[in-house]
Amino acid sequence: MQQYHCNTTQRSWKKGSILEKLGICTKPTFLKWSSSAMPAGSEPRYTIDTKFDNVTVRIYQPKGLSTGQRGIIYLYGGAGLFGSIKGYRKLCRYFSRESESVLVCVGQRLAPKHRCPTQIMDCITATEYFLKNASDYGVDPNRIVIAGDSTGAGIVPLVYQHLLTRKDLPKVRAQILLYPNIQTLDYNVPSYQQNRNVPLLFTKWSAEFELRFMNVKLAYLDQFLKGAHVSEEMKMKYKKWIHADHIPDEFKVRGYKPPPPVPFSKELHEMMKLSLDPKHCALLVEDDIVRQLPETFMLTCEYDVLRDDGLLYKKRLEDNGVPVTWHHAKEGFHGIVSSVDWFFEWPCGRVAAEHVTSFIKRF
């Protein structure tokens, strides 16, 4: 099943490459179309497509709608380039059904048409609206959690950090981070080396997606992978939070080689500056903000380039007294939870999804 899923993704990427060379569309545009075009199955009876302050959302409501229900705000992945509400319909339906929650899937506008930080602002806008109007959807505003996967999971804490300035809104109870993409400083931590060619997310793809998201030419890809966009001063400043030394030894047994020094590129740094801003990178915010974050569920996968992003953020949260419920999928790879309820469902994806729903039901 993993091989099938991998081959499907690789075929889509290759087809997208051909279309991009022909000038028909970009690779991310084709990936977005191909994921959304998959058979939908029967939609649940209680599904609403609407807008929250001009942000497109889809609301999944469990059967037997009542008042005082728990709510989930879901921020999908896709590198800010090709995620979609339709592509996440089965996963969102599953979480709503199994946790008996009203779930709001937020439709982010995508790059390159909509530049960063549009995606973050869309998620913030929709979240604020739902918190203010939760009772209109049968939701107790004090029982809301924010969840996301991959780049969506990287946005989740950014949304919560913004909400810390909104004393007029109810507090979000928890954050759920599924294999979060949460830093772009170091593409040479152990998981990026060990899993560089492991589906569904190769190291090169991860870096390429980030460059495309920031509208930077792919000619800079090699420099970006080596870390030329980060100055020595910045590396030293954030070494206390982002470094292979903070990864437990058990996650280095499959191999790790410290990267050689690389000349700093001021030009590349300027182009990537926004992605290195603490407002857009949750791992770079100061401790006084981190310690205000809510209880967290963290999913990491052994065969995922983003594994160490999750481990580093988990350590930061725990070092600041934030309770973390951690599930590590020892056989997992990037995107496993999204296989739930599809014909190619991966067993460890189902197990991980069940851990998520158990966590949600606590609130």
The residues assigned a catalytic role are 150, 304, 334
Say how many C-beta atoms besides its own lie within 10 A of residue 303's C-beta.
21
Residues in the chain: 363
**Tell me, what amino acid is at 119?**
Q
**Tell me, what amino acid is at 218?**
L
DSSP character string of 255-324: ---PPPP----HHHHHHHGGGGSTTT-GGGS-HHHHTTPPEEEEEEEEE-TTHHHHHHHHHHHHHTT--E
Sign of the Cα torsion 62, 65, 69, 72 reads positive
Q: Regarding beta strands 101-106 and 55-60, do their DSSP bridges make them parallel or antiparallel, or are they unpaired? A: antiparallel
Neighbouring residues of 69: CB distance < 8 A, sequence distance ≥ 6? 62, 100, 101, 102, 138, 139, 140, 143
Cα distance between residue 309 and residue 233, in whole Å: 21
Contact of 296 with 317, CB cutoff 8 Å: yes
Cα distance between residue 238 and residue 251, in whole Å: 21
Contact of 119 with 109, CB cutoff 8 Å: yes
Long-range contacts of 122-125 (CB under 8 A, 24+ apart): 122/55, 123/75, 123/152, 123/155, 123/158, 123/159, 124/158, 124/159, 124/162, 124/163, 125/52, 125/53, 125/54, 125/55
DSSP H helix total and E strand total for the chain: 13, 8
